[in-house]
């Protein structure tokens, strides 16, 4: 008789003996009979835009501005409550 156990550190499935002796032995070592809970992390990556210090074109909308960084922060980063 065999059963699928899940490794305590890696969570990988292992097919091992399932008689009473071995079952008790593997469970004491930290193996589980249920698959581990999968944790999904959602990462939101913010793209970095290189902005010139003074006058130039906005890399997002192409508008020519006297202060590109200020325009970008106000319009494209949502800091302007009017837009």
**The whole model's pTM is what?**
0.45
Per-residue model confidence (pLDDT) at position 17? 93
Residue 76, classed as helix, strand or coil, is helix
Residues composing the chain: 83
Nearest Cα residue to 51 out of 42, 63, 39: 63
Per-residue pLDDT tens over the stretch 46-65 = 666 666 667 777 777 888 87
Per-residue model confidence (pLDDT) at position 83? 43
Per-residue model confidence (pLDDT) at position 45? 60
Kind and range of the H or E element at 6? strand 2-6
Per-residue pLDDT tens over the stretch 2-17 = 999 999 888 899 999 9
Please state, for a pLDDT cut of 70, what percent of the chain lies above it. 72
Q: Where are the domains of the chain?
A: 1-36, 49-83
Bridge partners (DSSP) listed for residue 13: 6
Please give the residue that has the higher pLDDT: either 7 or 44: 7
Bridge partners (DSSP) listed for residue 56: 65
Q: What is the mean pLDDT of residues 14-27?
A: 93
**Is 28:17 a contact under the CB 8 Å cutoff?**
no
């Amino acid at each position: 008789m065999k059963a699928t156990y899940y490794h305590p550190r890696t969570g990988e499935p292992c097919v091992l003996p399932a008689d009473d002796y071995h079952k008790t032995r593997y469970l004491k070592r930290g193996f589980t009979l249920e698959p581990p809970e999968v944790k999904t992390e959602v990462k939101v990556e913010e793209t970095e835009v290189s902005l010139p210090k003074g006058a130039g074109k906005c890399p997002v909308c192409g508008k020519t501005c006297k202060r590109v960084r200020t325009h970008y922060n106000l319009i494209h980063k949502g800091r302007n409550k009017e837009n």
